[in-house]
Structure 1
């Protein structure tokens, strides 16, 4: 007789399974981006995301799959809105977390 956990496990079938070659490629890209960002901490960068948002700021930290940038006033107005009624001059020193896989381009300024 099977336990309830075994029957639940048999019923769960993934609707998506990453191909081994794709997984290897994604892991390589992730590792490369992580190392690149970690090597440029405290550098001023311009970042474009897959969605077309553009941010300017200093790389603060890169941890696992997240890049943290401290936004500068110059790049904030293009894609980041902290809330209604907050004037643009107060955006400075905002730390924005960005997912590495959502980054399209990183340029040093």
Structure 2
């Protein structure tokens, strides 16, 4: 349902307008940062405490795509897709 729509009696959840605006700003900021990290190795920590390492192979306004850099894998790299607004820390690895 679009932000600002009239609430329906059957709705179970209705996002707060302030929260929606904040998520959109955060997504936009993170998409820009992810663009700067394209083809670079990063470590990402989510707000739930999960940590991932990989090479940024793509992103859009919703997702970050990391290619797994684990040496145990042979053949095509496994791709991990993370939701931008769930990210807590992105660290560039050298």
Q: TM-score, normalised by structure 1?
A: 0.69
Q: Note the residue ranges of structure 2 that are not aligned, 5 or more in a row.
A: 1-7
1:26 partnered with 2:23? yes
Displacement, 1:64?
2.8
2 CA distance for matches of 1:52 and 1:25? 21
Segment of structure 1 superposing worse, 12-21 or 96-105: 12-21
2 CA distance for matches of 1:22 and 1:51? 19
Displacement, 1:12?
5.8
Which runs of 4 or more aligned residues in structure 1 lie more than 6 Å from their structure 2 counterparts after TM superposition?
A: none
Q: TM-score, normalised by structure 2?
A: 0.79
Paired residues, number: 86
Q: Note the residue ranges of structure 1 that are not aligned, 5 or more in a row.
A: 1-10, 74-87
For residues 74-85 of structure 1, the aligned pairs below 5 Å read none
Give the alignment's Cα RMSD to 1 decimal.
2.2
Higher helix content, 1 or 2: 1
